[in-house]
Amino acid sequence: MTYLKPMRAEDLLLPTPAGVCCERGGFHIDPTRPTDKAIITHAHSDHARAGHGAVLATQETLDIMRLRYGPDFAGATQAIRYGETVKLGDVSVTFHPAGHVLGSAQVAVESGNLRIVASGDYKDAADPTCTSFELVPCDVFITEATFGLPVFRHGDPDAEVGKLLHSVQLFSERAHLVGAYSLGKAQRVIALIRKAGYDKPIYLHGAMENICRYYQSRGIDLGDLPLVRDRKKVELVGTITLCPPSALKDVWSRRFPDPVACYASGWMRVRARARQSQVELPLVISDHADWNGLRAIVKATGARDIWVTHGQEDALVHWCQTQGLKARPLDIVGYGDEDETDGTADAGQAGNPA
Amino acid sequence: MNRFAELLDRLTYEPGRNNKLRLMTNYFASTPDPERGYALAALTGGLSFRYAKPNVIRSLIAERTDSVLFALSRDFVGDTAETVALMWPAPEAEKPNAVPHLSDVVTLLSTLGKAQLPVQLARWLDALDETGRWALLKLVMGALRIGVSARLAKTAAAALEDKDVTDIELMWPSLTPPYLDLFAWLEGRGEKPATQDPAPFRPAMLAQAIDDSDFEKLDATDFTAEWKWDGIRVQASAGINDKGTRVARMYSRTGEEISKSFPDLLESLRFNGSIDGELLILRDGRVQPFNVLQQRLNRKTVTTKLMSEFPAHLRAYDLLVDGDEDLRDLPFEARRKRLETFVARLKDSRIDISPLVPFDTWSELAAARAEPASVGSAEDASAVEGVMLKRRESPYVPGRPKGLWWKWKRDPFTADAVLMYAQRGSGKRSSYYSDYTFGVWTAGDEGNELVPVGKAYFGFTDEELLQIDRFVRRHTTKRFGPVREVAHTPEQGLVLEVAFEGLQRSTRHKSGLAMRFPRISRLRWDKPPGEADRLETLEKMLEGIERGQTSPLIAERKSRT
User: With contact defined as beta carbons under 8 Å apart, do A151 and A175 qualify?
Assistant: no
User: With contact defined as beta carbons under 8 Å apart, do B517 and B438 qualify?
Assistant: no
Q: Return the minimum-mean-pLDDT range out of A159-163, B50-54, B109-113.
A: B50-54
Name which residue leads in pLDDT, B299 or B126. Answer: B126
Name which residue leads in pLDDT, A310 or B443. Answer: B443
Percent helix, strand, coil in chain B (nearest 5)? 40, 25, 35
Nearest to B77 among A151, A278, A344 (CB): A151
Residue B55 contacts A, CB cutoff 8 Å: no
pLDDT of B167: 86
Name which residue leads in pLDDT, A4 or A272. Answer: A272
Residue A16: Cβ-neighbour burial (10 angstroms; 0-12, 13-18, 19+): middle
Tell me the pLDDT band of B158, cut-offs 50, 70 and 90: very high
Name which residue leads in pLDDT, B98 or A285. Answer: A285
CA distances from B14 to A58, A261, B7, B9, B436 (A): 43, 10, 10, 9, 29
pLDDT tens string A110-138: 998 999 999 999 999 999 999 999 999 99
Average pLDDT in chain A = 90
Name which residue leads in pLDDT, B146 or B321. Answer: B321
Amino acid at A9: A
pLDDT of B256: 81
| Alpha carbon distance A51, A67 (integer Å) | 14
Per-residue b or e along A44-76, where b marks 16 or more CB atoms closer than 10 Å to that residue's CB: bbbbbbeebebbbbbebbbbbbbbbbeeebbee
pLDDT of B428: 54
| Alpha carbon distance B551, B259 (integer Å) | 37
pLDDT tens string B491-549: 999 999 999 988 888 887 888 998 988 999 999 998 999 999 999 999 998 887 776 54
Helices (H) and strands (E) in chain A — how many of each?
8, 18
pLDDT of B94: 72
pLDDT tens string B24-54: 999 999 999 999 999 999 999 888 777 788 8
| Alpha carbon distance B463, B538 (integer Å) | 29
pLDDT of B503: 87
pLDDT tens string A257-302: 989 999 999 999 999 888 877 788 999 999 999 999 999 999 999 9
Is the Cβ pair B69, A270 closer than 8 Å? no
**Mean pLDDT confidence for B115-134:** 92
Nearest to B78 among A171, A272, A319 (CB): A272
Query: Which residues of B465-501 form beta strands (DSSP E)?
Result: 476-480, 483-486, 495-500
CA–CA min distance A165, chain B (Å) = 15
| Alpha carbon distance B458, B438 (integer Å) | 13
Of B138, B228, B402, B527, the active-site residue reads B228
Interface list for A 253-282 with B (CB within 8 A) = 269-276, 278-282
Looking at the domain that runs over A7-151+287-341, which CATH code has it been given?
3.60.15.10
pLDDT of A295: 97
Residues of chain B with Cβ-Cβ distance to A273 below 8 Å are 431
pLDDT of B293: 85
User: With contact defined as beta carbons under 8 Å apart, do A38 and A30 qualify?
Assistant: yes
Residue B431 has pLDDT above 70, yes or no: no
CA–CA min distance A219, chain B (Å) = 37
ipTM of the complex: 0.89
**Mean pLDDT confidence for B88-103:** 83
Q: Return the minimum-mean-pLDDT range out of A258-267, B88-97, B133-142, B319-328.
A: B88-97
Q: Over pLDDT 90: what percentage of chain B?
A: 53
Is the Cβ pair B431, A276 closer than 8 Å? yes
Residues of chain A with Cβ-Cβ distance to B15 below 8 Å are 278, 280
| Alpha carbon distance B17, B39 (integer Å) | 18
Tell me the pLDDT band of B481, cut-offs 50, 70 and 90: low
Residues of chain B with Cβ-Cβ distance to A314 below 8 Å are 72
What residues contact residue B530 under an 8 Å CB cut-off, 6+ apart? B441, B490, B491
Residue A349 has pLDDT above 50, yes or no: no
Nearest to B83 among A151, A275, A312 (CB): A151
Q: What 3-state class would DSSP assign to B480?
A: strand
Nearest to B13 among A151, A280, A312 (CB): A280
A7-151+287-341 and A157-283, same CATH topology: no
Average pLDDT in chain B = 88
Residue among B10, B22, B23, B86 with most chain A CBs within 10 A, to mutate: B86
pLDDT of B113: 83
pLDDT tens string B242-258: 788 899 999 998 888 88
Residue A91 has pLDDT above 90, yes or no: yes
Question: Searching chain B, which residue's CA lies closest to the CA of residue A167?
Answer: B10
Q: What 3-state class would DSSP assign to B345?
A: helix
**Mean pLDDT confidence for A45-64:** 96
**Mean pLDDT confidence for B190-202:** 85
| Alpha carbon distance B217, B220 (integer Å) | 10
Q: Does B455 participate in catalysis according to the annotation? A: no
Residue B450 has pLDDT above 90, yes or no: yes
User: With contact defined as beta carbons under 8 Å apart, do A92 and A73 qualify?
Assistant: no
**Mean pLDDT confidence for B118-146:** 90
CA–CA min distance B383, chain A (Å) = 36
Nearest to A272 among B428, B462, B473 (CB): B428
Residue A59 contacts B, CB cutoff 8 Å: no
User: With contact defined as beta carbons under 8 Å apart, do B206 and B405 qualify?
Assistant: yes
Domain boundaries, chain A: 7-151+287-341, 157-283
Give me the CATH topology for the region A157-283: Rossmann fold (3.40.50)
Residues of chain B with Cβ-Cβ distance to A270 below 8 Å are 76-77, 82, 86, 430
Residue B554 has pLDDT above 50, yes or no: no
Residues of chain A with Cβ-Cβ distance to B78 below 8 Å are 272
Residue A2 has pLDDT above 70, yes or no: no
What stretch of H or E contains A260? Answer: strand A260-264
pLDDT of A336: 66
Q: What is the 3-state secondary structure (H, E, C) of B348-365?
A: CCCEEECCECCCCCHHHH
pLDDT of B16: 81
User: With contact defined as beta carbons under 8 Å apart, do B317 and B278 qualify?
Assistant: yes
Q: Which domains does chain B have, with CATH numbers?
A: 2-141 (1.10.3260.10), 208-409 (3.30.470.30), 413-560 (2.40.50.140)
pLDDT of B160: 92
